[in-house]
């Protein structure tokens, strides 16, 4: 089955700097890669996703890049703000299969 590795497990950045979280996946058939944000004590919520027919997708300060050849994808957050502090999870799936495999999460702390 699919295996998703996520790094780093913790990340601290100064407010205003950029943060990058990386994930690798094992199943070359996977073609859907969402990212979820989970604030303390809350439920995970989708923040951005990408399908394998594109290499990059942006939504304001958040972007995701995908390298299908290397089987890795990354989340980029620019101009970080205190409200970006949370745990971020990547996931991979075969779109239509509907079973997501999640990474182990990255705890992002924004230092004011």
Partner 1 sequence: NAGVTQTPKFQVLKTGQSMTLQCAQDMNHNSMYWYRQDPGMGLRLIYYSASEGTTDKGEVPNGYNVSRLNKREFSLRLESAAPSQTSVYFCASLFGEQYFGPGTRLTVT
Within 61-100, the residues that bind partner 1 by CB under 8 A are 89, 98-100
46 vs 111, beta carbon nearer partner 1: 46
Nearer to partner 1, 10 or 112 (CB): 10
For residue 101, with 0-12 CB atoms within 10 Å meaning exposed, 13-18 middle and 19 or more buried, which class applies?
middle
Phi, psi angle pair for 83, to nearest 5°: -70, -5
CA distances from 15 to 5, 37, 72, 76 (A): 26, 18, 26, 14
Closest CA to 110 of 74, 86, 75, 76: 86
**Residue 14 beta carbon to partner 1: minimum distance, rounded to whole angstroms:** 25
Minimum distance, C-beta of residue 95 to partner 1, in the bound complex (Å): 10
Please list every residue from 10 through 69 that binds partner 1, using CB under 8 A. 34, 42-46, 49
# binding residues, partner 1 (CB under 8 A): 19
Residues near partner 1 (CB under 8 A) = 1, 6, 9, 34, 42-46, 49, 89, 98-105
């Amino acid at each position: 089955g699919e295996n998703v590795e996520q790094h780093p497990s913790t990340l601290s950045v100064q407010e205003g700097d950029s943060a990058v979280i990386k994930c690798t996946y094992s199943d070359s058939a996977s073609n859907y890669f969402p990212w979820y944000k989970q604030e303390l004590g809350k439920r995970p919520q989708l923040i951005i996703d990408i399908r394998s027919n594109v290499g990059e997708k942006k939504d304001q300060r958040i972007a995701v890049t995908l390298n299908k050849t290397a089987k890795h994808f990354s989340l980029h957050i620019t101009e970080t703000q205190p409200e970006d502090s949370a745990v971020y999870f990547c996931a991979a799936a075969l779109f239509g299969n509907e079973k997501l495999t999640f990474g182990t999460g990255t705890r992002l702390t924004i230092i004011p």
